[in-house]
Chains A and B, each alone.
Chain A
Amino acid sequence: MSAAALSWRQYRLERRMFWRNPAAAFFSFFLPLLFLFLFGAIFRDSQENLDIIVPGIAGLSIMATTFNALATQMTFLREQGVLKRIHGTPLPGGSYLAGVIGSAATNAVLQIAIVIVAARFVFDIGWPKNWVDLAVFTLLGITCFAALGVAFSHVIPNFEAAPAYTNIVFLPMIFISSVFYNVDVLPQFLADIAEALPLIHVINGLKAALVTGAPLTDQLSDLAVLGIWTVAAVFFAIRGFSWTQRD
């Protein structure tokens, strides 16, 4: 079987495994949507706020479905020896990872789709204004956070520690990255930290895509920061990848 066919088989297995685990499916899938509707309800009277929250939740969803999910999943599979077992078979490592990351990317795309539909029918934002922005920032956001998740799984010592490790990155990042409110309410040093991190740039791009319709050429600084993060993340994900648990 070709590497592509093997990736597809792995992808289908990952999809089945995902839906058979309702708790994980809930946390990486329904929680961001719950946030969307809760914050949407809180700020329903302020279009200005909704214009921030909707792309903010879209960015949060990308991070939750890729970074959080993959960091946790890889830690579990490595600790359990599933990765080691797979490494002993002829399945190429690249096909395996393509299947796993493809599955996470599917969750991210599904959530973006739901956010778009909600933006149109619930939050009066209308259909996306710039599909190119949407495609570019969704794809780049997924690549960046998926690679960061795989790389970060090597920092997590064991599965019990995985939620703590991912949340210590995830929660501060969403609070300073203009998910729930505009970044200009932050003190300068927090705003500076946010600007150095990738999430706010995904959200800026998605805001252009969903709300303002600004052309991609207006988002070059966001693209640059995100590009640097993505290259570094992919490098560390591949360079540091381990199929076995370090003792």
Chain B
Amino acid sequence: MPCGLTVARAVRNAANTVLLERGVVLDARMIACLRSLGVSHVYVHPDRSAAPPDALEQAVRGEVTRREEHRFGDVSGDPHRAALLAATIEIKVGERLAAEVFPPADRELAAAPFGGVNDA
């Protein structure tokens, strides 16, 4: 289900929301796919230049890495656990950055349910 996997990357920051860049057009198949994943609201990125600053990303990555390395314990000699650790760090860094760059309050302001996708 390549469509579902692609969307999952976008939805993972909230149970029922997806963040879109300005100008993205959702076709019927995409909407059906989003709905099947439990997405009920979409949010349009208000400013594409608002990428997380390098310093912020570094700080978040460092904090997440320290926490996860501790939780996973020694992964040397266990390539599967090491791969799981690396993938978990990437997911959590993505979640944290999204939360930092797009605070919930801002996301609420830009919210629009299906049928009325906003273009803030």
Q: Do A and B bind each other?
A: no
